[in-house]
Amino acid sequence: MRVFCASVATECNTFSPLRADFTDFRQSFYAPPGQHPETPTLCSAVFPVLRARARAGEITLIEGTATWAEPGGIVNAPTWNRLRDEVLEQLRAALPVDAVVLGLHGAMIADNCVDCEGQLIAAVRGIVGPVAKIGVTFDPHSHLGAARYENADIITVFKEFPHTDFVETAEACVDLTLRAARGEIAPEISVFDVRMIDVLPTSLDPMRGFVDRMMALERDGAVLSVSAIHGFMAGDSPDLGAKMIVITDGRRAEGDRLAGDLGMELFSFRGRARPDFLTARDALEQAARAPRGPVVIADVWDNPGGGVAGDSTIILREALCMGLRDIAFGTIWDPMAVRLCHAAGEGAQLQLRFGGKTSDAAGDPVDARVTVRRVKRDAVQSFGSSVVPLGDCAVIETAGIEVVLNSNRAQAFSPDLFTNLGVEIDVKQALVVKSTNHFHGAFARIATRILYAAVDGPYPSDPRRNAYRRLSRPIWPIVDTPHQTQENA
C-alpha cells in the first residue's frame, strides 16, 4: 500500500497586527521530504506514526514537506501558493497512491484564500481521484468548512485542550485511514453545527467529562471516531464556531443523530466552561498572599498561540507598580532587546527598553535598569515529546523580577521554558506565563495554585464586539438563541 503524507500548518488571527510569510514557517519548523525529525511535532505527528507502519512492512511511505509557523496574522498569498503547490507537486510525483494523510491545523487564512485547508484537501482529492482514501488531523481551534469533510474520508481532532493527545490523534487518523484503504471499513462523516464560540478547556469540567464520554464511545465500538471542533474566535471565517464530528462505519443516519445530540450537549456548556478570569491586580494580589509558591498566573489573551505578538507588558507593569518581587515572567517577545542583552553579555547592567512594540493595546514599553542574568542561543522548551524553538533568549532582572525575553514567538508550554535558562522556579512566589491553557498540563505539576488573568489587549476576546465580516450564520454569544434563529430564518 502506497501512502503519501504532508503537513502544512499555522493558526491565523485575522485581527492581529502581525503578518506571516515563508520566513515564519522556516523559523518555526520546516522539514523537506525525508527530513522530518523522529520526534513528533504538534500537527505533523502523522509522520513518525506512519514511519512506524512503514518499518513494520505495512505500507510504502512517501513523505512530503512538513512545516509549521507559530500562530500569527494572515499568511501572504505568495507563501500560501508556494506551500500548497509544493505539497501538490510532491503528491503528483508520488502517484499512484492508495492513501493520503495530512497533518493540518485548520485555522489558516491567506490573503487569497479564506479556507486554506479546504482548498488543499479538495485539490488532493482532485489529484488522487475518488477511490484513494484521505485522512486529516486538525487542531480543535479551527474552522470546519464543507470542502474539508466532503473531500476527506477520515478527520480526527485533538480532544484535549491543552493538546496533550496530538500523537494519539495522529495514530487514530492513520489507523482509520489505512483500514479504509484496505476496505475493512466504510467511513461516513457526520457533522453538526453547534453554533457557538467559547473557551473550552478540557482540564476542567464540564469539558473534562465530555471528552471522557467521547473516548468511551470510541472504546466501546459505537463509532469509529468522535471529535469536537471548538472554533477559533480570532479568525474571521464563514465557518467560525464549534462543530461536532462523528465517523461511523456506514451508519450515516446514526452518526447524524449522535453528532446532533453531542452538539447540543456541548452547546449547553456555553458560558460556563471557561475558568474564572481575574484582573491583573487581583491575580497578582492572590499570588502574593499565597502561603507558598510558585503560583502560576496565565496571561490568557497575550498568548502567541492565539496569533498575537506576546509582547504585552500590562501584567509586568502592574507587578512593578505593586512592588512585588520573586516573580518570573515567560516570555516577552522582543528580538531587539534580546540582541542588546547578548551584546552586553551575562552579568552586564544596562538601561533597557523592552516589550510593547507591536500594538498600542499591549501596554507601553518598559524602561528599566536591568541585569542580564543569562543569554542563550537557540533556546528551546518542551511540549510533551515535541521541542519548541524559542530562538535566542535573554533572562533579565529588574526590581526583583526576572523576565525571559525571546526572539522566536512562542507561548508557554512547560516549566523548562524557565529552567533551561537557569531561572530557579522553586524559589519564586509567582510565575506569569503567556498561554490560555496549553501550559496547564506541565505547570500543574509544580504549581501550588493556577490563576487566569484576562487583560484586554490585541486579542479579540469578545465575539460580540469582534468585527467579523465573513460570518453570516447566527452563533452564540453574538445571538442568544442561534438554533431557534436559524430555524426561523
Please tell me the predicted confidence (pLDDT) of residue 285: 98
For cell 512594540, the residue is: 357
Q: What are phi and psi of 38, to 5 degrees?
A: -70, -30
Confidence of residue 386 (pLDDT cuts 50, 70, 90): confident
Share above pLDDT 90 across residues of the chain, in percent, rounded to a whole number:
95
Mean pLDDT along residues 96-108: 98
Mean pLDDT along residues 362-391: 95
Confidence of residue 489 (pLDDT cuts 50, 70, 90): low
> Rounded distance, CA 388 to CA 408, Å?
10
Indicate the SS3 state at residue 139.
coil
Confidence of residue 459 (pLDDT cuts 50, 70, 90): very high
Mean pLDDT along residues 394-419: 97
Query: Facing residues of 379 across strands?
Result: 391
Its CATH class, for the domain covering 2-267, is: alpha beta
Please tell me the predicted confidence (pLDDT) of residue 488: 57
pLDDT digits (tens, 9 = 90+) for 261-278: 999 999 999 999 999 999
Is residue 39 scored above 90 in pLDDT?
Answer: no
Extents of the domains making up the chain = 2-267, 277-453
pTM above 0.75, yes or no: yes
Please tell me the predicted confidence (pLDDT) of residue 456: 85
pLDDT digits (tens, 9 = 90+) for 311-370: 999 999 999 999 999 999 999 999 999 999 999 999 999 999 999 999 888 999 999 999
Please tell me the predicted confidence (pLDDT) of residue 487: 63
Please tell me the predicted confidence (pLDDT) of residue 486: 64
Q: Which residues contact 356 (CB under 8 A, 6 or more apart)?
A: 311, 312, 313, 362, 363, 364, 365, 366
Is residue 58 scored above 70 in pLDDT?
Answer: yes
Confidence of residue 256 (pLDDT cuts 50, 70, 90): very high
Please tell me the predicted confidence (pLDDT) of residue 304: 95
**Enclosing H/E stretch for 254:** helix 252-267
Q: Is the dihedral of CA 477, 451, 166, 252 positive or negative?
A: negative
Written as one letter, the residue type at 68 is W
Q: What string of DSSP letters covers 397-460? A: EETTEEEEEESS------THHHHTTT--GGG-SEEEE--SSTTHHHHTTT-SEEEEE---SSS-
- Report the C-alpha dihedral over residues 361, 367, 370, 373, rounded to 10 degrees: 20
Please tell me the predicted confidence (pLDDT) of residue 40: 86
Q: Are strands 29-31 and 60-68 parallel, antiparallel or unpaired?
A: antiparallel
User: Do 337 and 101 meet the contact criterion of CB atoms below 8 Å apart?
Assistant: no
> Rounded distance, CA 91 to CA 97, Å?
9
Is residue 443 scored above 80 in pLDDT?
Answer: yes
Average per-residue pLDDT for the chain: 96
* Helical H segments across 111-242, by residue range: 116-128, 146-149, 166-181, 207-219
pLDDT digits (tens, 9 = 90+) for 154-180: 999 999 999 999 999 999 999 999 999
Confidence of residue 384 (pLDDT cuts 50, 70, 90): confident
